[in-house]
Structure 1
C-alpha cells in the first residue's frame, strides 16, 4: 500500500495536519501509514537546503529499516513546496529508482510570498519570533522573498533551463519520475486582524501565480547591437505544463483542512496513474475549472501573473540601479497607455532585499486585456513593450551606449495577435522570469596607449 508524507510550511508544525491526515484515512484511500514531517523553519541559521539534506538522511534511515516503503507520495503546504522541490532536485531526481511519485502542493510558495519581507522586519520578529528568541528564520525568509536568487536557481534546476537540456536521468518531473499537482486559493482571510494582508489573486499569503509551478523564462541580451537577442527558456523534461487548480473558497490556512473542495482534488491527484495521458487529462480539467472562476467584473476573480526580472551587465554583475517600464505602441497615445499600465495593470512592484537587481511585478492580466488593450483606438496594435533604463555607475562608465540619453533598451514583450502567434507569454496564473543583460561601456579616458618619445 502506497504511503504518504506530509510537510508543513514556515512557522508551522505537523500538528496542523492531523485533520487532513484523518480525512485521508477516513476517505478509504490506502495510506498506511501517513507520515508527518517536522523541520525547523524559524531559526535564522537554517536554510531550505539544510532541511532537504536532513530530510534525505532521515528518509535513508527509514527506507533502509523498512519503515517507509518506496515509492511514496508527498503532500506539502506553503514553504514545504520549496523543501520538497529542493530535496527532489538535490537527491531524488538523480536516484536510479525514484522514491517520490506524486507531489501534491497545497498553496505552495513556489515563487515566493509577499509576506516574507514582513517576516524579516522588526514587526515580524516581535510577532512571529516572540517564542523563538525573536528569530524568524532569516535564511528561509530570504528564499521565500519575492524574486529571490534562491527561486531563480531552483527554477533553473527543476523547471526551466536556459542552455543545454539536462540528461533524462536528472529530469525531476515526468511520468517515469514525479508528477506535480498544485492546488491554491484565491480567497483572502476572513479574520479581521489578517484582512490587511489580503490582495486580489492571492490566498492572504501566497499569490496563485506564485503557487503555480508552471513558469516561463526569457533572456534579453542587449550586448549584440541595437536589437536584443532573445532566448526563450525551455522546459526541463517532457511535461509542457503542470496541473494547477485555483479555488475561491479557501485561504492559505483553511486549505490544509481538507474541506469539501480540497479533499476530492487531493484524492484525484494521489490516484492519478503514472501515465502522461492521465496526467494531461487532470491538467486540462483543472485548467478549465480555474478558467471558470474568472470574472472581469469582480476584482477578486481577476487573473494575474508575476514577472520576475534580473538585470546584469555583460560581466555578469548585478545592476541594481535600474528602472523598468511598460507601454504600448510608439504613437501619440503612449503617455496615456503608460499611465494605465503603470497605475492600473501593475498592482505591485517588489525590489528584492537580498539582490536589488531582482524585481517582481504583480500584474492584473484581466485589466491588461480589458482596459489597456481594448482601450486603444481602432487600428492600433495590441502590444506591450518593456524598456530598461540603467543609471551609469559614474562619469567613466555607461550602460548600453555612451551618452547620457542612451542608457536604455526596449523590447516587444507581448503581442495579442493570432496571426503573429506572439501571445504565448505573460500567461495567466503563472510566474515569468526575464533576465536582461546590458553592455557596460567604459569611456575613452579609462585606458589609453601613448607612443613613447625619448
Structure 2
C-alpha cells in the first residue's frame, strides 16, 4: 500500500485514541509516513456533522493531500458519518463525484452508521456529566448538541444521508473501481465495570450491532388513494428496494471477539489488524469478495456469541439463541411531505390455524422517537430463532391521528377501501406477503437496518360533509334603506 491512510476518530474522542492501532498498523509494515491522524471538535453546540466534514475537506486540501491524490481511511464511531457526509456533499451523483473516486478503501471500526442509542441521553446526563467539554471557555460543558442530534436514532440527518449514498439510484459504494471498497468491524461485547451502566441490549456499549453495517433496503407503504413515486409515476402500495446487488457493494458487519466500543480501538485484536492490512491491498471486486468470504469465516465464532438471547429486550440474562437483531427506521408523512407525528405500526403474522391473524408477539421491540420530529422512529427488534429462515405471511397495521376534529388521515389498505385514521379507528391493514415473495420471502434480516416510509392522505373531516375547516356562510341579509352593511 502506498496511499496516504487517514484515521478519523469519533464523538468526544481525539486522534490520540488511535495510538495503539497506529502502532499495530506500523507493525504490519504500514509506512509511518502514510499514516495521518485526524483531530476534530465535536463538543461544541454550534457544530454539525456536515461542518466537521467540510473542515475535513479544508484540512485535506490545504495540508495533507494533493488535489487529486488517492487515499484510504479508517474511521471509528461518528467518524463514519463524517466521511459519509464528506462524500455526499451537495448530493453529487457518483459519476461526477471526485471525492468518491479518490477514496479507495473505507474501514469502519464500530461505526455509528445509523447513530447511537446513547446520543439522545448525551444532551442530558451523558453530555453534562460524562462527555461534556471540561475546558473553561466558550465551550465549557458543551456536549455537541447538533452532532448528537445527527447521531440520535432515526435522526433526519441519517435518513437523508442514507437516501443520498445507500439508497440512491446510483450506488455510492459500488462494485467498480470508481467508488471505495468498504468494510465494517464491531466488538461483540458491551462495556464492563462502571461504564456498563450505559449498555443497551444488542450493542457494543455505544453502537447497535444492527446499526453499523451498510447493507440496507427501503420499504415504502403508500396508503394514499393513488400511490405515486417521487417522480409522480404510479407505483404499488408496497415497494421494496433490493439488498446488495451486482452494482451495490455487500458491506455486512464483521464481529470481533471480546471487544467493546472502546477496546476495539484501544486494544485492537491481532486478527482484525491482519485483515485491515490485507483489505487495504484490495484492487478489484473479485479480490474484495474473496477477502470478505475469509473475513466472515474468521468472524463467525464471535458473531455466534451475539446470538445469545437476553430473554426480553430489556432483560440481561441469557436464555435461548436468537437469529440476531435488526433495526427498522420508520418515517411517516402525508402526501404533501409533511410529518405524521402521531402514529403506531404493528406487525401481524398468520396464526397456526392458517386463518387467524395474530400480533407477532415473539418479536421484542424497543421504539425510540427522534426528539426533533417524532415522525421519524427507530424500532430495535430482537429476532427469535427461525424467524429469518421460515417464510411466513405478514401484515402491517397502521393507525394515525391528526389530533384535531377537523382534519383526519385517510388510508387505503390492501383491499383499496378508504378508511379514516383517527385515534379510535381501526387500523389500516397492508398485506406485504406478495412483496416479500418477489424479494426474499422474509421481512427480517439480522444485523441490518431497514428503512420504512409510510405515506398517508391528510383530508378535511368528516368526509361527506362541508363543515369544520372550511364552509360557506349563509347569504348576507338584504340591505336596508340603501345603507352600507358596514358601519
Change in Cα spacing, 1:2 to 1:13, as seen in structure 2 (3 Å) is same
Deviations 1:274-306 (A, max 9, x none): x11111223333444555533655547741110
Aligned to 2:79: 80
Alpha-carbon distance in 2 for matches of 1:314, 1:359: 19
Q: Secondary structure, in 3 states, of the residue corresponding to 1:125? A: helix
Aligned to 1:146: 153
Q: Secondary structure, in 3 states, of the residue corresponding to 1:43? A: coil
Length-normalised TM-score, structure 2:
0.80
Alpha-carbon distance in 2 for matches of 1:96, 1:109: 21
Residue 382 of structure 1 deviates from its aligned partner by: 2.5
Match of 1:355 among 373, 376, 382: 373
Residue 173 of structure 1 deviates from its aligned partner by: 4.0
Q: Secondary structure, in 3 states, of the residue corresponding to 1:24? A: helix
Change in Cα spacing, 1:318 to 1:368, as seen in structure 2 (3 Å) is farther
Aligned to 2:59: 58
Match of 2:115 among 112, 117, 124: 112
Q: Which has the higher helix share?
A: 1
Change in Cα spacing, 1:234 to 1:421, as seen in structure 2 (3 Å) is closer
Q: Secondary structure, in 3 states, of the residue corresponding to 2:18? A: helix
**C-alpha RMSD of matched pairs (Å):** 3.3
Alpha-carbon distance in 2 for matches of 1:88, 1:269: 20
The range that moved more, 152-161 or 282-291, is: 282-291
Alpha-carbon distance in 1 for matches of 2:384, 2:434: 15
Conservation of the 8 A alpha-carbon contact between 1:305 and 1:431 = yes
- Match status 1:409 vs 2:402: no
Number of equivalenced pairs? 432
Match of 1:441 among 433, 451, 459: 459
Conservation of the 8 A alpha-carbon contact between 1:346 and 1:361 = no
Conservation of the 8 A alpha-carbon contact between 1:44 and 1:138 = yes
- Match status 1:5 vs 2:9: no
Residue 242 of structure 1 deviates from its aligned partner by: 1.5
Aligned to 2:397: 387
Match of 1:324 among 345, 351, 354: 345
Alpha-carbon distance in 2 for matches of 1:416, 1:195: 41
Aligned to 1:179: 181
Deviations 1:17-63 (A, max 9, x none): 11111111111134532100000001011111101111111111135
Change in Cα spacing, 1:397 to 1:411, as seen in structure 2 (3 Å) is same
Alpha-carbon distance in 1 for matches of 2:186, 2:435: 28
Residue 335 of structure 1 deviates from its aligned partner by: 9.8
Alpha-carbon distance in 2 for matches of 1:198, 1:97: 35
Tell which structure's C-alpha radius of gyration is larger: 2
- Match status 1:230 vs 2:238: yes
Match of 1:155 among 162, 168, 175: 162
The range that moved more, 331-340 or 30-39, is: 331-340
Alpha-carbon distance in 2 for matches of 1:241, 1:187: 24
Q: Secondary structure, in 3 states, of the residue corresponding to 2:43? A: coil
Structure 2 stretches lacking a partner, 5+ long: 228-234, 311-317, 411-418, 479-487
Change in Cα spacing, 1:35 to 1:388, as seen in structure 2 (3 Å) is same
Residue 142 of structure 1 deviates from its aligned partner by: 0.4
Residue 83 of structure 1 deviates from its aligned partner by: 0.3
Aligned to 1:428: 446
